[in-house]
Amino acid sequence: MTRTNSAVARALERIARLDAALHAFIEVWPDEALARERDALARRLPLGGLPFAVKGPWGTRSFAARRLVAAGGVPVGATSVPGPGTHWQTWGRGAHGRTVNPWRADRTPGGSSAGSAVAVAAGMVVLATGSDGAGSVRIPAAWCGVFGLKTTNGLLPSPDRSGLAAAGVLARSAAAAEPYLRHVLDGGAPPAAPVPPAQPVTPSPLPATRPLAPARPPSRPLLAVYSEDLGYAEVDPEVAAVVRAAVDRLVAAGTVRLLERDAGLLDPAGAWAAVRGGSPDDPEAVRVRRTNDERLEAVLAGEALLLTPATPNRPHGHEGPGDLYSTALTWAFNLSGHPAASLPAGFTADGCPVGLQLAAARGADVRLLAAARAVEDSLPPAPEPPAASRS
């Protein structure tokens, strides 16, 4: 292997060429990464030097990153997260400036896993780690046109004390994300982590961690329930139209069969804030969570999926989202603990990517990934952003 055909060297070259404009990274580790790659290849580890990025300056300490490294993955750098000064988290600050959306530089990439989404979208790395406490993986995945998965809360160690945040991954596709689940969950059980505190409805026990078979496409059609707004969100009509067109295409292809089930939930904003603020036993928060858990159990019965837009809005400008909550359709699943993913659904007329969100029963992460692969196979391939082809 020469440096020119090394996977890590190619990743480092793309970072050097593209990141001056995108600001996806806060640190890059070329010498260490090349040394790790040589070691992984010499030891014939299963990932064979697969280059990946980690979220934020603490990313290499996460359970997922350590599992990937043990399997022969190579962290090449740390990606941007929001800086101080804003209450909104749908942005990032790289080493040399504000992280920009690879599709439209005048828009934010989303966050808080901002740099991870941009690094994947621009082809700087194959996959990147993230964490998702209200949509922090799924929102940037939607706005950068890539795949993003929030795992079941409690399946992996939670990055925050509230238990709302779950580990996640961003990749160019669901297929490209499979090494994450395969090697992060494969074998020994991870350290115990709580589901969100004061869970109103006790979730079914998660299956014991064991070696994972590949996420093969499931039998079709996939049973699914579609909701444009979960009964409470105000969704940009064009975003809703893009997602509905994708769902209609899935139905026409025989990939999905829609079920007539009521997916209306109570607005989780207040309950999320109570849990995040250390008051999970707030009576109103408990009522909302209990009601939503019962409704989600009915919606997802029989291995059904729940399909929604990933965000109610398109990527906003760098000045902020204003009064909009980009988390309106994602944070319900942080409260409930269900795994959820965003994958590319299409574009608005002004060139902004739109994400389709899929949610599944607690602990059904591998099945959700398999369903996402089946959905991807029935939708047009996600194109590369203009920023990925800069010379």
Pairing of strands 127-132, 353-359: unpaired
So which residues are the catalytic ones? 55, 112, 136
Q: What angle do CA 119, 122, 127 make, to 5 degrees?
A: 45
Pairing of strands 51-55, 127-132: parallel
Q: Bridge-partner residues for 107, per DSSP?
A: 317
CA–CA distance, 275 with 272 (Å, rounded to integer): 5
251 burial via Cβ count (<10 Å: 0-12, 13-18, 19+): middle
With CA atoms as reference, report the closest residue to 126 among 63, 76, 184, 80. Answer: 76
Phi, psi dihedrals of residue 154, rounded to the nearest 5°: 95, -15
* Phi, psi (rounded to 5 degrees) for 97: 155, 180
H or E element: which one contains 155? none
Backbone angles phi, psi at 81, to 5 degrees: -135, 170
Shortest CA distance to 76 belongs to which of 14, 139, 140, 148? 14
Whether the CB-CB separation of 327 and 134 falls below 8 Å is answered with yes
- Contacts of 268-277 spanning 24+ positions with Cβ under 8 A: 268/292, 268/331, 268/332, 268/335, 269/325, 269/328, 269/331, 271/335, 272/134, 272/164, 272/327, 272/331, 272/334, 272/335, 275/162, 275/163, 275/164, 275/196, 275/197, 275/198, 275/335, 276/133, 276/162, 276/164
Would you say 151 and 365 are in contact if contact means Cβ atoms under 8 Å apart? yes
Q: DSSP states of 291-328 as a string? A: HHHHHHHHHTGGG-EEEEES-SSPPPBTT--TT--TTT
